[in-house]
Structure 1
Amino acid sequence: MEEEKDAFYVVKKGDVIGIYKSLRDLAEAGISVYDPSLRVYKGYGLSKQAEVYLGSCGLKNAAYSISASDVNDNTFGKLVPCPPQQPTSVRGNTSNTDPSPNRQQQILGKELVGSTSHFTDPRLNHMNFANQVETQMMSSNPQSCIVEFDGASKGNPGPAGAGAVLRAEDGRVVCRLCEGVGIATNNVAEYRAVILGMKYALKKGFKHIRVQGDSNLVCMQVQGRWKIKSQNLVELNKEAKELKDKFMSFQINHVGRESNSEADALANQAVNLMNGQVQEDWIGP
């Protein structure tokens, strides 16, 4: 299939849809327009306003998602099935005649409106569906991983350490990491931890990454949703965002301490290391 100017692709899987900017993005994400478990539609001229809003979810290469309640006949403009011979009913019925682009948009919208997810905050709705579609797309991709991070500071500021755990999508531990941070605040240690995890994920060749930690400040600032008030975090935030952009898809989530115990233990262990000293424990292939 030949690439066309201003084309974008709407991919439906289950009760979520992803929006991709090019056929190359689809291919790199391991998505085939002939996959019977997916419904793929093509549109033209995704608005800048829509891109900016969807991009605020923190995902790269237009691996965006949108909630069912926000889909209507005008959300994406005119859509056509991709490829043209694809079955026209998104519920799996076949037909020898393709309906009009407007009819395709109505079918797509009506099916998604039946989603069981309900949120009062539209932004949370978008983020929830972004997490779902990213998880679904990543779960079958061997180039994807989960990074758990945590930082510790004995004194805040005081002797500090960073810890990170890299996991395969099945939960299997691939690597455990500790890094000494020197005398620093807890927030600096948290940033050093997320940077540590991302660097080693890239080093290992992972292309799709899902990051989680119990620092809401780091998660929100890396997403660009919170302002940075402390000057000593500006460069760390810049480095984290530069690393984020090297992945084909990226997602970062805040989790409770109880879900981050292994990274926490590594961070406390790293307090005894010299600043910049890294200990690696590679377990996976």
Structure 2
Amino acid sequence: MKVFMEWTYVTPKKKETVWTSKEMEVSEAITFAEDIEKTGRVKQLLFYDARGVAWTKKELIKLMKEIETEPHDVIAYFDGGFDRQTKKAGIGIVIYYKQDGEQFRIRANAQLDELQSNNEAEYAAFHFLLEQLEHLGVHHLPVVFRGDAHVVLHQLSSDWPVFSDEGRWVERIERKMKRLCISPIYEPIGRKENSEADQLATQALRGTMIRSTIQLERKR
């Protein structure tokens, strides 16, 4: 989770000015805040998250202790494929996250038969990804979303226009994102970088269903 600081500085003659920091990780921000407080010139010190919510240092420290026991530092991948002959779609998702000081990975896929195109399969994969995040208990956090469906990511980030065919999917996704209070970070990637989700989508098209959660080994 990243935040930026805003503090009101007071001079010995009681003149005030407001300073704003760059965005940084919470642990780094708290370290700077503690050092700034030692000056004795701080009238007010607040931290703002990606949603613009303000936190005091005490509130932020409490939040981070609570988050440590819940899934956090989430990076999520998605991919969808569509077979024109069978009219079936395969979707796959991969979720990396931390919890209680350990790192985990979830892999899951599904086969759908009510879709009409590859683009719709990509949107369905993203929505399926949000469902898995909800099931995992991810909420009130920033989440990094990665996929090679650049159209989907650019439309969700409002960089590209949304047409009527995609509109209903965008609305469904935005409703669920808002309900979970997730702050999305969209990162379009190449197909090679999305190989795990791509393989899962392909396996779903072939009728091989996968659902697994594993704890990853720590890097030494």
TM-score of the two chains, using structure 1 as the length reference:
0.50
Correspondence for 1:167? 96
Residue 201 of structure 1, CA deviation: 0.8
Distance 2:85 2:145 in 1: 24
Amino acid at match of 1:265: Q
1:267 Cα deviation after fit:
0.6
- Kindly state the Cα deviation for residue 16 of structure 1 after the two structures are TM-superposed: 3.2
The equivalent of 1:225 in structure 2 is: 159
Number of residue equivalences: 172
User: Which residue among 76, 81, 89 is the counterpart of 1:152?
Assistant: 81
Tell me the equivalent position of 1:263: 197
Instruction: Give me the identity figure in percent.
Output: 21
Within 2, Cα distance between the matches of 1:237 and 1:156?
26
Matched, 1:11 2:17: no
Q: How far apart in 1 are the matches of 2:158 and 2:86?
A: 25
- Which letter maps to 2:213? W
Note closer, same or farther for the CA distance 1:232–1:272 as it changes in structure 2 (3 Å cut): farther
Q: What value does the CA root-mean-square deviation take over the aligned residues?
A: 3.8
Alignment of 1:177-188 (within 5 A): 177-182=108-113, 183-188=115-120
Structure 1 residue identity aligned to 2:5: V
**Which protein is richer in strand relative to its size?**
2
Question: Structure 2 regions of 5+ residues with no counterpart?
Answer: 7-20, 46-63
1:16 corresponds to which letter in structure 2? K
Asked if 1:283 corresponds to 2:208, the answer is no
Shift of the alpha carbon at 1:162? Answer: 0.7
Cα deviation per residue 1:66-113 (whole Å; 9 max; x = unaligned)? xxxxxxxxxxxxxxxxxxxx6448xxxx534x2899xx9xxxxxxxxx
- Aligned ranges for residues 1-285 of structure 1 at < 5 Å? 10-11=4-5, 16-17=22-23, 35-36=30-31, 38-39=32-33, 87-88=35-36, 94-96=38-40, 98=41, 141=68, 142-144=70-72, 145-155=74-84, 158-169=87-98, 172-182=103-113, 183-207=115-139, 208=141, 209-229=143-163, 231-245=164-178, 246-273=180-207, 279-284=210-215
Distance 1:171 1:262, change over 3 A: farther
Q: Bigger relative contact order, structure 1 or 2, given CA contacts below 8 A and separation 6+? A: 2
Deviation, structure 1 residue 167: 1.0
Over 3 Å counting, the alpha-carbon distance change for 1:190 and 1:172 in structure 2 is: farther
Q: Is the 8 A contact 2:102 2:215 kept in 1?
A: no
Q: What letter is aligned with 1:239? A: R
